[in-house]
Amino acid sequence: MEGKRFLRTVSCCLLCIGLVTSLVSCGSQEATSVTVQGSISEDTTWTADNIYVLNQEIRVINSATLTIEPGTLIKAAPGEFPNASMLLITQGSKINAVGTPEKPIVFTSSDDNITRVEESNQSLLNENNKGLWGGIIILGTAPISTETGDVSTFYVGLDPSDKANYYGGTNVEDNSGIMKYVSIRYGGTYMGTGSESNGLTLCGVGNKTQIDQIEVYANQDDGIEFFGGTVNASNLLVYNSGDDGIDLDEGYSGEIKNIMVVLGEQSDSGIEISGGQGDFQGDFSLSNIQLTVKTPSEDQQIMRIDSASKGSISTLLASNFLDISKIQLQSSEVTLEQLQISKNQTEVNSLSEINGSEKNSKNISFTSGLSLENDSKGYHWTLTKQMVSR
């Protein structure tokens, strides 16, 4: 009963490709396990009749496109920096990963026992199995705003001497591909920089890229992080991240619609926003947001917004947080509209829930009776829905 109540609130060109000789039982069919190593430098397709195992860092380079069929299962071998397994889409290359509600594309750990995406709710892993691999990183050519003022920079945790590890530029319409109905699970391995990797990291990604219906489940660091860029995104679900659910940095200037973040006991903020530190602040728009807590703790915050941030946040429903959890607002250039905050099953809509509200109290408004239930129905395909419903 508690679970139901909670839910309501809530190829040739690879440097090395190896075919494992044993076949994996996949219901009435058998799937071949394909180990992937090195770089993908020509257009390549991963098909749903195989299980792909990422062995250390897999790069898509040389303007190649990696296409992943609906229903494909991708696993990542264990390892930390410098041997972490991850998928890296470099500047000029693309990912074309389009699943469906019935056949999502699943990225998980090689420790996961499932052999096809339909078996997701039979996994022996759980929400505590974080940090098993490195996630997905996309490096685009859209503008970023860094403290150094550089037009481009390298992704921290990757080799700065390799230009393939850089992102950023002047192309607002950068197209790094499409991701839709993709579930990313059990990521966040140690990156050798005092931090862990995110589930999905979008670095200087432009607005011709399509990001929609993305789930990040049990990641050790942030669920999804945007480093600058102009990419728009929609229908993002983050469950039990070790740090923030959604994180905006380096002057992100796009629009994100329909966000659901479910925090765990060790999570930090539902959303963290840091504006640009260089030539521009950025200008973001977030709307239709549900932030809730599975296991409340005193370290959790609803949102953190730094002094350099600029943008708008509208239609936000926050629930189940402790009294000590607040919106930490340091900027006078962020508009907060139609907020509804509930604690102990009681609405507590007041400026006292926003530390720093005196900076722009004229740009803050509350509402009552807010329901985003219809927005939540679009997540029925996710592992979060399956596991919480069990």
Q: Does the structure show a pLDDT above 90 at 274?
A: yes
How far apart, in whole angstroms, are the C-alpha atoms of residue 158 and residue 385?
34
Identify the weakest region by mean pLDDT among 32-46, 91-105, 340-354: 340-354
Does 245 or 83 have the greater pLDDT score? 245
Q: Does the structure show a pLDDT above 70 at 145?
A: yes
When pLDDT is cut at 50, 70 and 90, the band that residue 21 belongs to is: very low
When pLDDT is cut at 50, 70 and 90, the band that residue 373 belongs to is: confident
Q: Are strands 29-37 and 16-26 parallel, antiparallel or unpaired?
A: antiparallel
How far apart, in whole angstroms, are the C-alpha atoms of residue 349 and residue 270?
18
User: Which pLDDT does position 235 carry in this prediction?
Assistant: 97
Q: What angle do CA 15, 25, 179 make, to 5 degrees?
A: 55
- For every residue of 173-210, DSSP letters joined together read T---EEEEEEEEES---B-SSSSB--SEEEES--TTSE
User: Which pLDDT does position 81 carry in this prediction?
Assistant: 82
Residue with tokens 């329909």: 258
Question: Can you tell me the mean pLDDT for 46-72?
Answer: 97
User: Which pLDDT does position 356 carry in this prediction?
Assistant: 92
Q: What angle do CA 356, 236, 239 make, to 5 degrees?
A: 80
Does 370 or 236 have the greater pLDDT score? 236
Instruction: Single out the residue of 302, 367, 163 nearest to residue 155, CA to CA.
Output: 163
Instruction: Single out the residue of 155, 170, 136 nearest to residue 54, CA to CA.
Output: 136
Instruction: Single out the residue of 330, 303, 324, 299 nearest to residue 245, CA to CA.
Output: 303
Q: Does the structure show a pLDDT above 70 at 15?
A: no
Q: 58 has which bridge partners?
A: 87
Instruction: Single out the residue of 302, 355, 314 nearest to residue 331, CA to CA.
Output: 355
pTM of the model: 0.92
